[in-house]
Amino acid sequence: MSIIAYLNGKFIPAEEASISPLDRGMVFGDGVYEVIPVFNRKILYLEEHLDRLNQSLQGIRMTLPHTHAEWKSLLTTLVEENNLNHGGEHQWIYLQVTRGFQLVRDHQIPNNLTPTVFAISYPKILTSKEEQAQGIKVIATTDIRWKYCYIKTTARLAYTLMYQEAKDAGVDEAIIINNGYALEGTSSNFFMVRHGVISTPPKGPLLLSGITRDKILALAEKHKIPYRENKISERELLKADEIWITSSIRGIYPVVEFNGEPISNGKAGPFWSKMWDYYAEDITNLSLSVSN
């Protein structure tokens, strides 16, 4: 399967995309990224992802290298090219902006570099509600990250190490615990349901503000399901009626086991089922609407 990528103004076969080893993204992990879902060839929640990209760039003292209209045009071309190429109606876009090439390694942030802009989109195989209802298992892991977790930086080593802990334990995701409080997954946010109320930790520097997370809170508001944004301890999480993890790639998954203990009798719960339907409906409606 060949895949088209975008690199600094050009659409090229992904195998031909190359950047210098002296790019600061390579040397310092000096860059940020986004992952954006595409459903029925429609880029979902693009404005929200671009706003978050902008926020991440500001966090590392960079500015958005393209206007929203330019991003929309280049990402739409990428999706269409790859649709022709591999026939993927559903895709996921990875886009990355790094600070660019710098000949002499220097810790100080220079202000005259040309950012490296890279994007690629892969076909996405949809999983059915029945498949997702099988749920996933998670463990708790100790937070080993820096303190600017609201920045979606490409420097993800702490996340990959914590995720590997989950894989080594034979489970699918790790929930990051900081001072006794659960913050997020290694590549997801989480929700808890207890006594009919949905809750998730409030936004702050120690978690990434997920686009899916925000969407779910908006859907809870719309459908009048009680919800709260509040700190959640690891101990409370063990008493949850339901736990879900959410991300642009995975959508909403029920957690059926936490630290080896069954959640919701080891089955997907009724709140998850309802929210899954609302989210699916939102995505379907968006993908059918004319403008993005």
Q: How many residues bind ligand PMP (CB under 6 A)?
A: 13
Work out the burial of residue 124: count CB atoms within 10 Å of its CB; fewer than 13 is exposed, 13-18 middle, 19 or more buried: middle
Please tell me the total number of residues recorded for the chain in this structure. 292
Task: Provide the residue type at 122 as one letter.
Answer: Y
Rounded least distance, CB 124 to ligand PMP, Å: 13
In the set 152, 203, 224, 267, the catalytic residue is 152
Minimum CB–partner distance for residue 276 and ligand PMP (Å): 15
**Residues 225-254 contacting ligand PMP, CB under 6 A:** 246-248
- Among residues 184 and 257, whose Cβ is nearest to ligand PMP? 184
Q: Which stretch binds ligand PMP (CB under 6 A): 7-15, 181-189, 198-206, 228-236?
A: 181-189
Site for ligand PMP in 184-223 (CB under 6 A): 184, 187-189, 208, 210-213
Q: Which of 233, 219, 236, 238 is nearest to 286 (CA)?
A: 219
In terms of C-beta density within 10 A (0-12 exposed, 13-18 middle, 19 or more buried), how is residue 90 classed?
middle
63 Ramachandran zone, left/alpha/beta (phi>0; psi -120 to 50):
beta
User: Residue 114 or 284: which CB sits closer to ligand PMP?
Assistant: 284
Contact (CB, 8 A) for 90 and 57: no
Answer yes or no: 137 catalytic: no
Which is nearer to ligand PMP, 81 or 229 (by Cβ)? 229
- 91 in contact with ligand PMP (CB under 6 A): no
- Nearest approach, Cβ of residue 10 and ligand PMP (Å): 26
The 34-53 site mask, x for binding ligand PMP (CB under 6 A), equals -x------------------
Which alpha helices (DSSP H) does 120-192 contain, by range? 129-132, 157-168
Q: How far is the CB of 188 from ligand PMP (least distance, A)?
A: 5
Residues 104-163 that bind ligand PMP (CB under 6 A): none
Q: What are phi and psi of 59, to 5 degrees?
A: -60, -25
Structure tokens at 16: 């031909």
Q: Between 158 and 169, whose beta carbon lies closer to ligand PMP?
A: 158
Question: Measured from the CB atom, is 116 or 247 closer to ligand PMP?
Answer: 247
Return the number of the residue (34 or 257) whose C-beta is nearest ligand PMP. Answer: 34
Least distance in Å: CB of 70 to ligand PMP? Answer: 21
Element (DSSP H or E) covering residue 116:
strand 116-123
Closest CA to 282 of 184, 227, 201, 211: 211
Separation of alpha carbons 217 and 191, rounded Å:
10
Closest CB to ligand PMP: residue number:
210
Q: Which helix (H) or strand (E) holds 6?
A: strand 4-7
Amino acid at 123: P
Active-site residue list: 152
Q: Which residues bind ligand PMP (CB under 6 A)?
A: 35, 184, 187-189, 208, 210-213, 246-248
